[in-house]
Structure 1
Amino acid sequence: MVESGYNQKKKGVSKGIIALIAGVIVLAGGSAAAFMYLNASPKASYFLAEKNTLEYMTDQFENRYQPELDWYEKTQQEKTASTIELSGSYNDPAAVTGYGMDPAMFINNSSITIDAQSDMQNRQLYTGLSANIGGMEVSDIEFFLDEEKVMLGLPFIEEVLQFNDEDLGPLLQDIDPNLFTGEETLNLESLFDSAQGVLPEEDLEYLEEEYMKLIYDELPEEAFTSSDETIDVNEQSISAEKIALDLSEQELKDIMKTVLDKMENDDRLKEIIKEQAAAQQFGNTMYMQNDLDTLISDFDTAIADMKTGLEDFRIPDGLKSTLWIHDDKIVQRDFSIEMGPTAEELGLFTIKGSQLLTETNQFFNYDFSFSDAYSDGTVNLAGDLNWEDDQAKDSIKIAMEDLELSYEGSETLEDGSREFDRTFTLQEPTSGGGSLLWSGNASYENDQMNSEHNFSLETPDISQDMISFNIISEGKTIDSVESLSEDNVKNIGGMSADEIQQYIENDITPSFQQWLFGILAGGGLGF
């Protein structure tokens, strides 16, 4: 557990160099396993164990949640529609005000319905929204998006509002010609690209081939040694192969310098960085081409600074990583590295723990520790996941100092239908902590799915039946995605900034006020 907090300010350590070392550690710790040479060397066995362990855990997850994964894949490959109804319940007699108003009357008689449709292959999204807010009926709110435009339908205006991707630049330049070039776009395609995964497949293959394989090849064979050892894991005696990786300070620096040299002149890598930055900033119209160019300029500067600072950076004991391997998978790990800008400002990072992975049980218990001249602490991650005969009973805990976050869950799966009870609990002394309880069911059959979810809170001051939140969802495949009518479109993007402001003030605002007054006069919200 933590002996002192992490909140003390850390001084003097080069964040760039530490980030690079962390990246090399991650790659050297497993990602490069895709480039195993099938021989019996300790180096090959080390990374093959990392690869096998990761793949085994992935396979177990996919085996358990295959119905959900199949449905997700269907939503990415086919046209699908889902209807989601959100509602809540509230039961607290003490909440009635002095005027006799009970919040439960409002909350318990309110719901929101979302009709969502998507065609990820043809890059189309549609959403329709309706709601009953305490007796006030709201409907006919519609939204459509593709790579070229955004369309919005509102119940209080006849026109369908439209904004084209190509119109953003001229509009922004009209607002501030000194700040914007006129070439800016909404970058709508990034919304669909990000939904397909963190990185496109071709980019992943490039990074694996050019960097992961590079690091694997640069690791010296003589840095790995192998021996046999019997260890205890989860109260079981295990005969394991012990493989130790011991990199000296100079060897580690040489590998990092090789990586930095390649990154410095890698135009393809810089394009990937720009594409990912643009995708992650979807909706932030201020993140334009100038910002992307500045990002790459800062990247080049950071690489140069790291190369300059690497020579004086201290890693006195190098990098030490030991794996214990049984049945071609990792059963125990001991990793440590101490580093800092000077000999007086060293920080020690360690990972120690064990795991035992079988088809019916996945056990793990790891300590992640950090210490330097200003602070020290340990985070413990432990779990016991059980899956047998399509039934699950799981427990996971994350603990540091007097703070503990835990998960307890049970599940059953039968003919594509899952029932579950899941509890997330926070224990901490200041507020007394509390629990989020999540129960429900989900079924998947051919081209349809439906699910019900109930969320409730339990704290020292809130009972489980006081507050709850419900989600009911139904999904199916469809022939086509609904769109908005183009018979009466108001092209906002083709207007100047002043014209947009006048349109809002003279048309939209009065129509909205009249529409809202009509709802309230009709008895909504109890008026």
Structure 2
Amino acid sequence: MEETLNDGQKKGFPKKIVAIIIAAVLVIGGGVAAYVMLNLSDKEKYFLSEKKSMEFLTDKVEERFKPEFDWLEQTENNPTETVIDLSAEYNDPTASSGYGAMSPQEIINNSTITLTTSADMEKKQIASEIKGSFGDIEIDDVQFYLTDEKATIGLPFLEELLQVKDKDIGKFLHELDPMTFTGEENPNFEVFFKRGLSEEDQKYFNEEYLKMIYDKLPDSAFKITDETVKINDESVDTKKMTMHLSEDEVKDILKAIFEKMQKDDRLKEIMQEQIQMQQFGMPADASLDMNFDEMMNDFDDALKEAQDGLKDFKIPDGITSTIWTKDKLIVKREFSVEMGPTKDQLAKFTVNGTQKLEDNNQSFDYKLAFSDDYEESSASVTGDFSTKDDKATDSIKLSAENMELAYEGNSTLKDGKREFERQFSIDDQYGDSGKLIWTGNANYEKDKMSAEHSFSVEFPSLNITQEMASLHIKNKGKTIKSVEMPKEDNIKDLGSMNVDELKNYFETDVAPQAQQWFLGIMGGPGMSF
């Protein structure tokens, strides 16, 4: 499966084929931990430790942010209204005021935006209203409504609401721009009311893929021994659990995955839905029409090439994954795999590190490394999360090459009220450093919440201080009885109009009213800029 260049040199597989194989290899090495059996073979003990460690961390995150998760669940299962107020401060001592008009600094400091949104995710209804003031200019009555079948917008200069149904979107866009849109575009508004993979889809992946991979992993690939290891300069008695898959065993599993994916219509339906969700129901490049059948044909071809390429693909040492456990929780991990399209084009990927999982403290220290014939690179990830009484402190650092990204957070939580300060910073070898500072508070009750957030930045190399500029967000939410949607007797259905009707409507109705409204908010014909 090698291709030959014009000069006679050989090159390896296409990068997309290599990427598919690498992704599948990593799933074998780690993803199966989400599917766990309850027997006590070495194989099952290995994955049970993975599962318990993940569940421990998940439980701690849910405990840490319980008020936030409870309110999220409230919004998903009940109709709620959220009001968000945005304002900003800009204080530049070198800025000069304008002559006869507000300066940019004055405009910023005297501007606000209010977004009010009501949503009922179960009934698939969203209603939003935007109001804003920009210096002396007031803008309100901008409304937006969405259901799983239609989108409606209200503009301050129109008495009627403008509406388009999802089934008419393709035709509507083609009427507006026939060179870009084919008329066959078919967005799905329902994706706006979904959050990631559904429980049903997750169950499908668990049963159809993770279980299949788990069953294909040979019992002989697992071995457990006792070993004392050093964890943070402390000797710890552990169970050393090793999974080693030979090259042939890895290839057998990869082949089974590729064959199943190629024939799996349900998987392709889920992929289509996720693509639509990422693109808000519309294709990223409408001129291509996001022809999903064509995309799936390319996907099938790539899977077929990956299957054909497995014969010559090299994983000389297979996959080795070792975990050390204490009280059935992982305290140390090593993972390594070396692979490539030929024996002369091998890349090695390793993960090594330790972690501590305790009720009031969770920490980790991992190093990721990559090397091939051309380069070597590595990155380290460390983190520490601790709680004591009502206080919590967090830190995460990612160091790679000559750059470090860091997060530091402190918060208190008492009776549902949280106060916090969080900082995201970046440092590099050239002396460029900066940070984003996020402070605020939030109060959560069963059927309502309120929060205040302030964001500021600091970049010494650019002479930007924390006091120079800041963004403020106030947020209030409450449970409501229902979402108020517009009546159908005051709606202009744009999707039912042809190009001439659309042109006539916008030229004779919309444009004059928009111009009159604009002149009104700007102070009339005599305004100055």
TM-score, normalised by the number of residues in structure 1: 0.92
Displacement of 1:332: 0.7
One-letter code of the match for 2:187? L
1:467 is matched with: 469
CA distance in 2, matches of 1:325, 1:483: 55
Displacement of 1:269: 2.0
1:102-159: per-residue Cα shift (whole Å, max 9, x none)? 4321111110000011000000001100001012111000000101211111111111
CA distance in 1, matches of 2:173, 2:428: 48
- Number of paired residues? 514
Could you tell me which runs of 5 or more consecutive residues in structure 1 were left unpaired when the two chains were aligned.
1-10
Judge conservation of contact 2:368–2:379 (CA < 8 Å) in 1: yes
Matched, 1:339 2:305: no
2:3 is matched with: none
CA distance in 2, matches of 1:490, 1:268: 38
One-letter code of the match for 1:214? M
1:471-516: per-residue Cα shift (whole Å, max 9, x none)? 0011000111122343321111111123223322332222222111
Judge conservation of contact 2:456–2:466 (CA < 8 Å) in 1: yes
1:203-236: per-residue Cα shift (whole Å, max 9, x none)? 2111111110111111111111111111122343
* CA 1:136–1:57: 2 relative to 1, 3 Å: same
CA distance in 1, matches of 2:96, 2:174: 53
* CA 1:497–1:75: 2 relative to 1, 3 Å: same
Displacement of 1:402: 1.2
Judge conservation of contact 2:21–2:306 (CA < 8 Å) in 1: no
2:133 is matched with: 132
Judge conservation of contact 2:229–2:237 (CA < 8 Å) in 1: yes
1:215 is matched with: 213
Judge conservation of contact 1:135–1:523 (CA < 8 Å) in 2: no
Which one of the candidate residues 513, 516, 526 is aligned to 1:514?
A: 516
* CA 1:217–1:525: 2 relative to 1, 3 Å: farther
One-letter code of the match for 1:107? I
Displacement of 1:17: 4.2
Q: What secondary structure, in the 3-state scheme, does the structure 2 residue paired with 1:93 have?
A: coil
Could you tell me which runs of 5 or more consecutive residues in structure 2 were left unpaired when the two chains were aligned.
1-10
Q: What secondary structure, in the 3-state scheme, does the structure 2 residue paired with 1:55 have?
A: helix
Matched, 1:154 2:152: no
1:71-113: per-residue Cα shift (whole Å, max 9, x none)? 0001000000011000000111112268596432111111000
1:3 is matched with: none
Matched, 1:54 2:51: no
* CA 1:526–1:230: 2 relative to 1, 3 Å: farther
Q: What secondary structure, in the 3-state scheme, does the structure 2 residue paired with 1:325 have?
A: strand
TM-score, normalised by the number of residues in structure 2: 0.92
* CA 1:13–1:411: 2 relative to 1, 3 Å: farther
Judge conservation of contact 2:316–2:338 (CA < 8 Å) in 1: yes
Which one of the candidate residues 255, 258, 280 is aligned to 1:257?
A: 255
Per mean C-alpha deviation after superposition, the further-off stretch among 259-268 and 383-392 is 259-268
* CA 1:306–1:524: 2 relative to 1, 3 Å: farther
Matched, 1:234 2:232: yes
* CA 1:135–1:182: 2 relative to 1, 3 Å: closer
CA distance in 2, matches of 1:490, 1:457: 45
1:393 is matched with: 393
* CA 1:241–1:374: 2 relative to 1, 3 Å: same
1:451-484: per-residue Cα shift (whole Å, max 9, x none)? 0000011111111111000000110001111223
2:366 is matched with: 366
Matched, 1:120 2:129: no
Displacement of 1:328: 0.9
CA distance in 2, matches of 1:525, 1:54: 63
Matches within 5 A, 1:238-387: 238-284=236-282, 286=286, 291-387=291-387
Which one of the candidate residues 507, 517, 520 is aligned to 1:505?
A: 507
CA distance in 2, matches of 1:290, 1:358: 48
One-letter code of the match for 1:498? D
Judge conservation of contact 1:246–1:318 (CA < 8 Å) in 2: yes
Displacement of 1:283: 4.2
Per mean C-alpha deviation after superposition, the further-off stretch among 101-110 and 329-338 is 101-110
One-letter code of the match for 1:260? F
Displacement of 1:523: 12
* CA 1:238–1:14: 2 relative to 1, 3 Å: farther
Q: What secondary structure, in the 3-state scheme, does the structure 2 residue paired with 1:374 have?
A: coil
Displacement of 1:178: 10
One-letter code of the match for 1:66? K
One-letter code of the match for 1:419? E
CA distance in 1, matches of 2:487, 2:261: 49
Judge conservation of contact 1:277–1:292 (CA < 8 Å) in 2: no
One-letter code of the match for 1:112? I
Displacement of 1:31: 3.4
CA distance in 2, matches of 1:431, 1:159: 57
2:193 is matched with: 192
CA distance in 2, matches of 1:328, 1:288: 51
Q: What secondary structure, in the 3-state scheme, does the structure 2 residue paired with 1:31 have?
A: helix
